[in-house]
Amino acid sequence: MKEIAGGVCAPKGFLAGGIRCGIKASATKRDLGLIYSEAPCTAAAMFTSNKVKAASVLVSREHLAETGGILRAVIANSGNANACTGEAGLSAARLMTRLAAVKLSAKHSITITDNEVAVASTGVIGVPFPVGAVESGMDALIASMTDAGHDAALEAIMTTDVRKKDGAVELAIGGTTVCIGGMTKGAGMIHPNMATMLCFITTDAAISRDCLDRALRHCVRRSFNRLTVDGDTSTNDTVILMANGLAGNPPITAPGPEYDRFTEALLSLCVKLTRAMARDGEGASRLVTITVRGAAEEAAAETLAKSVAASSLVKAACFGADANWGRVLCALGYAGVDLDPGTVDVSFACADGEIPVCRGGVPVPFSEEDAKRILSGEEIEIRITVGKGPGEATAWGCDLTYEYVKINGDYRS
C-alpha cells in the first residue's frame, strides 16, 4: 500500500467538480459539488446518531434502501445544513438528487434514477434552503466535472475548515492495482459518533455490498468515531463509500486475506482524514492524540481515550502547554470504565521526545520546562497505561483556544 495523489478521482472511473452557486450569499468560495462514477457503484454509508437529522441524511438513507445500496453520484453543498427545515427541506433535498440525475443522464446519454444519487449538506441549521440557487447552477456544475476535479469538489463542502482534508492510497488485490480515495470536511460540532463531517470515499475495487458495509463500519469505529473537537454531534454527519469495480480485481465477496488488505488500506485512509479533522478543529493550534494501553479490552480502552480527548480541561491545558496530568486521571475516572487509579501511568510526548509525569497514579519528578517544550508542539500525544490487559485504542482531538469561542460566537454571520 502506498499513498498517491488524486483524492476521490484517483480510482478509475470517478469524476468530480464544484462551483459557487450562491447558497450562502456572503461567501466567495465554491459551495456546490458533485462526485460521479462512470459505472454503477456498490455503496455503503453511515450517518449521524443525532435524533435530529438533516433532510440530506433522511433522503440519502431512503435512496440507499430503495436501490439496495447502488449509487452513481453524490451531490453536496456547504453554506446551508438544510436541517430543521420541514417538508420544504425534504423537497429541496429530493430536487437536488433529481436535478443531478437528469443532468448526468443527458450528459452521458444514460439513464440515472433519482435514487441512484445521494445528497449531503453542511452549514447553518434552521435556515430555509435556497434550492433555486442549486437549480440555476446545475449546468455549470455538470460542466465543471473532470477526472481531476477533486479539489473543486472538496472546496465546495468546506465551511469553517481552514485546511484541505483528503488522501488516496493504492494497493494490490489479487495481483490487480486498486485505488481508494477520499475527502472530508469537518472543523467544529465534532464529537462521536461520528462527527460533524461529510466524508466521501471512492474505490475502483470490485467488492460485495456486505463486505463493503462491514469494512466501512470497522473503519469508522476506529477512526471517525474516535474523534472529538467540542462535544457536539451534528445533524448532518454522513460517510458514503462507493465502489465501482473498474479496477477489474477478482471480486472480494467474503472475509479473507484480500478483504483484510482492503480494510487495512481503508482504515489507513480514514485515520489520515480523522487526524486532519482534529488538527483543523475550529480555532485549534494543536493536534492531540490520546493512546490508552493495558485495558481489559479494546472497547474499554476506546471509552477511556475518548473521555480524555473530550475533556475541556485537558484540552485547555494542552492549549496552555500545561502538564496538568491530574486532569487526565480525572477524565479517566468518570469515563464509566472499571479502573484502578493505582495502575495508571501517564506521559506526554511529541516528535522531540517523551516525558513521564505519573506512575501508578502518583506524581513522578519531571522538568516543567521540558514538559512545556513537549506540549508546545503542533502535534502532541498523551500516552496512558491503565493495567496489563490486551485492550488498546487511540482517540484524536485538539486543544481548546480563544479562537473557538470567537468563531462560534458569530457563526451565522
Looking at the annotation, which residues are catalytic?
196
Question: Is the bond into 193 cis (omega within 30 degrees of 0)?
Answer: yes
Residue 45 grid coordinates: 454509508
Q: What is the dihedral of CA 117, 166, 314, 297, to 10 degrees?
A: 70
Determine the Cα–Cα distance for residues 104 and 113; give it in Å rounded to an integer: 10
Determine the Cα–Cα distance for residues 245 and 314; give it in Å rounded to an integer: 45
Amino acid at 179: C
Determine the Cα–Cα distance for residues 329 and 322; give it in Å rounded to an integer: 15
Whether the CB-CB separation of 356 and 345 falls below 8 Å is answered with: yes
Q: How many CB atoms lie within 10 A of CB 413?
A: 5
Determine the Cα–Cα distance for residues 67 and 191; give it in Å rounded to an integer: 30
Of the candidates 286, 300, 297, the one whose C-alpha atom is nearest the C-alpha of residue 382 is 286
Relative to beta strand 353-359, strand 238-243 is unpaired
